[in-house]
Amino acid sequence: MRKKKVLVVGGTGYLGQHLLSGFSEIDGVPYDIAFTYHSFAPEALLGALPHLLSFQVDLKSGQGFDTITENFGQPDIVVNCAAISVPRACEVDPVSAFSVNVPTAIGTWLLSFEGRNTLFIHLSTDQVYEGVESFYNEEDETIPVNVYGKSKLAAEQYVSEKFSNFAILRSSIIFGPQTISPVPKSLPVQWIDATLSEGNEVEFFHDEFRCPVYVKDVVNVIITLIKTWISEGKQMQLLLNVGGPNRVSRVEMAETVAEIRGHKKSLIKRVSASSIDRGVKSPADISMNIGKLIQILAMSPVSFTDGVRLTLCS
Ligand SMILES: NC(=O)c1ccc[n+]([C@@H]2O[C@H](COP(=O)([O-])OP(=O)(O)OC[C@H]3O[C@@H](n4cnc5c(N)ncnc54)[C@H](OP(=O)(O)O)[C@@H]3O)[C@@H](O)[C@H]2O)c1
């Protein structure tokens, strides 16, 4: 049987690189894997994972997908990790946010193939929720408060309308080690570590809550869904909250990092999120109920590694 073809769109981003590493760690690497980049294909990534094919695409224009057809063919599985993922950048340029974050270019390309059975795994965000209650369920109303959340919700609507075989993963903050080729954006835990290590007092919100999720857990969830699709062959229409096991405030995140890295907790100043204008609205409490995710993982050999205690800052 031929190997399944997996395409990671946005393979140069934070999650994308971890996912490519995760695939490479599976015994015998049972897939043919390709990834896309937008700005450049990092040499460190190509050097570390030389068996991968890479393609440049622009999700705004759709440029680059024909080359994938010619050199890789129709993928069996697409994991879309590409996005303008920084809320402030979305607020500054909403047109770009919608044109990149809503995967119309990928959809148009995939729907041009005759056999349309590709599994499309799409990364969404907890920021589709308004943030006025705790422990959101997947069925709860979605009321995004910023452009990033609105563009991601529009993406979810596009995916569920256009595809018949899909999984939408609403991820909370993803944390973990730096990538093979370091990403340009600030990583939450590394930022807290670096800031506290300067020895100055830093303000953190005591009233903004998330369920941060360890990057390798997100990778495991994606690989589990792919394995399930390959072994069972049943189409899926899945909407899933993907968070870590704990609802924590920004203060609690900082305290955890301080504890593990040996920084003084007295440097952490508790302030209210309402006391600072960040130029973009941020939902207050978008902690998620992850019961459905746990049920799915219970059927697989994967369980939460709870990276909070493992590799926060490596
Ligand atoms: N990281 C988190 O904490 C978090 C939390 C919740 C949800 N998510 C979601 O999870 C997914 C992955 O997040 P991430 O943190 O890994 O994102 P990221 O590090 O910002 O990576 C973004 C990726 O998108 C690509 N990209 C950007 N503009 C593009 C364009 N015009 N055409 C084609 N590709 C383009 C980038 O390519 P270049 O590298 O070449 O620029 C990069 O590969 C996103 O959907 C994000 O919204 C992330």
Instruction: List pLDDT tens digits, range 292-314.
Output: 998 887 766 555 555 443 333 32
Query: How many whole angstroms separate alpha carbon 284 and alpha carbon 36?
Result: 34
Assess if residue 273 is contained within a domain.
Answer: no
Residue nearest to atom 12 of ligand 1 (CA): 81
DSSP letter string, 114-142: SS---EEEEEEEGGGS-SBSSSB-TTSPP
Assess if residue 206 is contained within a domain.
Answer: no
Assess if residue 35 is contained within a domain.
Answer: yes
Find the 183 Cα to ligand 1 centroid distance in Å: 10
Owning domain of residue 101: 4-176+212-244+287-304
Find the 257 Cα to ligand 1 centroid distance in Å: 25
Assess if residue 118 is contained within a domain.
Answer: yes
Assess if residue 255 is contained within a domain.
Answer: no
Residue 286 pLDDT > 70:
yes
Q: What is the mean pLDDT of residues 90-119?
A: 96
Contact by Cβ (8 Å): 55, 71: yes
| 59 close to ligand 1 (CB < 6 Angstrom) | yes
Assess if residue 189 is contained within a domain.
Answer: no
Find the 11 Cα to ligand 1 centroid distance in Å: 8
Assess if residue 100 is contained within a domain.
Answer: yes
pTM, 2 dp: 0.96
Instruction: List pLDDT tens digits, range 160-206.
Output: 999 999 999 999 999 999 999 999 999 999 999 999 999 999 999 99
Residue nearest to atom 18 of ligand 1 (CA): 13
Query: How many whole angstroms separate alpha carbon 228 and alpha carbon 158?
Result: 24
Contact by Cβ (8 Å): 58, 115: no
Assess if residue 54 is contained within a domain.
Answer: yes
Predicted local distance difference test score (pLDDT) of residue 1: 76
Neighbouring CB atoms inside 10 A of 119's CB total 22
Helix (H/G/I), strand (E/B), else coil: 279: coil
| 12 close to ligand 1 (CB < 6 Angstrom) | yes
What percent of the chain is modeled with pLDDT above 90?
A: 88
Query: How many whole angstroms separate alpha carbon 161 and alpha carbon 159?
Result: 5
Instruction: List pLDDT tens digits, range 250-279.
Output: 999 999 999 999 999 999 999 999 998 889
Q: What is the mean pLDDT of residues 65-87?
A: 98
Retrieve residue 201's tokens. Answer: 């007092």
| 187 close to ligand 1 (CB < 6 Angstrom) | no
| 175 close to ligand 1 (CB < 6 Angstrom) | no
Q: Which CATH number covers residue 123?
A: 3.40.50.720
Closest ligand 1 atom, CA of 12? 43
CA distances from 117 to 103, 162, 215, 230, 262 (A): 17, 12, 28, 12, 50
Report angle CA 130, 172, 56 to the nearest 5 degrees: 110
Question: What is the H or E stretch that residue 189 is in?
Answer: helix 188-197
**Using a CB cutoff of 8 Å and minimum separation of 24, what contacts does 221-225 make?**
221/169, 221/293, 221/296, 221/297, 221/302, 222/19, 222/22, 222/79, 222/121, 222/169, 223/22, 223/23, 223/26, 223/302, 224/296, 224/297, 224/300, 224/302, 225/119, 225/121, 225/167, 225/296
| 10 close to ligand 1 (CB < 6 Angstrom) | yes
| 123 close to ligand 1 (CB < 6 Angstrom) | yes
For the chain, the domain total comes to: 1
CA distances from 12 to 15, 66, 72, 275, 282 (A): 8, 20, 18, 35, 26
